[in-house]
Amino acid sequence: MAPALRSIFARVVVLCALAAFAAPAVAQTRLDDILARGVLKVGATGDYPPFAVRGADGAYSGLDVDAAEALGAALGVRVEFVPTRWANLTRDLAAGDFDVAMGGVSVTLDRQKTAFFSAPYLRDGKTPIARCADKNKFGDLAAIDRPEVTVIVNPGGTNEKFDRAHLKAAHIDVSGDNLSIFDRLAKGEADLMITDATETLYQQKLHPGVLCAIHPDAPFDFSEKAYLLPRDAALKAFVDQWLHVAGATGALAALKAKWLQ
């Protein structure tokens, strides 16, 4: 090889080596961040039993609270709950206020536009709940969508979206305090609420002989519960695998039996 060519070849080798050393490192994922900080931040509205309820002392309880603790244990980190609201859920997640939203989050295409969902862990659907004395009055949407009927709803979530889409004549009473809705319903301050079948069964259990779930086994529509995640493939893959293992070992079934039966 001529001296000039050897010199050029040597320079190319050196430049390639320098380029290899200067190559950017693999981007840090949200999963890496969680493991590094030792904390999983879980966003929860805390107003949706039996999935997540925040008590007067600030402590959380519910199916998804237990699930969050199990997920934290699988990651080897502690869990920190971050308060949020249904109307702000996707915005707060995008802002990085928390790593995952849990607490009865319904899978929707609107939420999917800006975030990931885990694999679904529960099938659900919207169905009415009313005072037991009135349970035969509201079997279908035609019977509900009347001017003399008041439907109570919590703001900003899939319940209000369903009501706005399907009820044109009925009065929709938006209650800012989700935790008091069923007490108000029991007192006769509204005729019914349309919510997820799982919640109607839970509230029927809490108000025996007073509130009755109406055809919870045949809801008006189809929905699923899942966990809302940032657009981080590594974190989604871990949560999906954790759910798969929890389903295969019976751990997920045990949580459902504890809170939903």
Same domain, 69 and 106: yes
Percent of the chain with pLDDT over 90: 80
Give me the torsion for CA of 177, 180, 184, 186, rounded to 10°. Answer: 150
Task: With beta carbons less than 8 A apart as the criterion, state whether 246 and 66 touch.
Answer: no
Same-domain status, 160 and 117: no
42 with 162, same domain: the answer is: no
Does residue 58 or residue 179 have the better pLDDT? 58
CATH no. for residue 203? 3.40.190.10
Q: What is the pLDDT of residue 186?
A: 96
Q: Which domain holds residue 156?
A: 126-213
The verdict on 144 and 104 lying in the same domain is no
Q: What is the pLDDT of residue 115?
A: 97
Q: Tell me: do 40 and 77 sit in the same domain.
A: yes
Task: Specify whether 101 is located in the same domain as 229.
Answer: yes
35 and 95 co-located in one domain: yes
What token pair was written down for 104?
């009865």
Closest CA to 117 of 35, 242, 258, 233: 233
Of the chain, the percentage scoring pLDDT greater than 70 comes to: 90
* Same domain (yes/no): 115, 133: no
> Residue 3 domain-assigned?
no
- HEC states along 76-137? CCEEEEEECCHHHHHHHHHCCCCCEECCCCECCHHHHCCCEECCCCEEECEEEEEEHHHCCC
Residue 2's pLDDT is what? 55
Q: The whole model's pTM is what?
A: 0.75
The mean pLDDT value for 62-70 works out to 98
Which of 174, 192, 213 terminates a domain? The answer is 213
In a domain, 11, yes or no: no
Q: What is the pLDDT of residue 87?
A: 87
In a domain, 8, yes or no: no
Residue for token pair 């380029």: 19
Query: What separation in angstroms does the CA of 49 have from each of 14, 29, 110, 127, 143?
Result: 64, 32, 23, 16, 27
Which pLDDT does position 7 carry in this prediction? 52
119 and 133 belong to one structural domain: no
Taking the C-alpha atoms of residue 211 and residue 132, their distance in angstroms, rounded to an integer, is 5
Number of domains in the chain: 2
pLDDT at 158: 86
Q: How far is CA 209 from CA 68, 166, 186, 212, in A?
A: 33, 28, 10, 7
Q: Is position 254 within any domain?
A: yes
- Is 15 a member of any domain? no
17 pLDDT band (50/70/90 cuts)?
very low
- Domain match, 229 and 168 both: no
Does residue 156 surpass a pLDDT of 90?
no
End residue of a domain, out of 176, 194, 213: 213
Q: What pLDDT band is residue 157 in, cutting at 50, 70 and 90?
A: confident
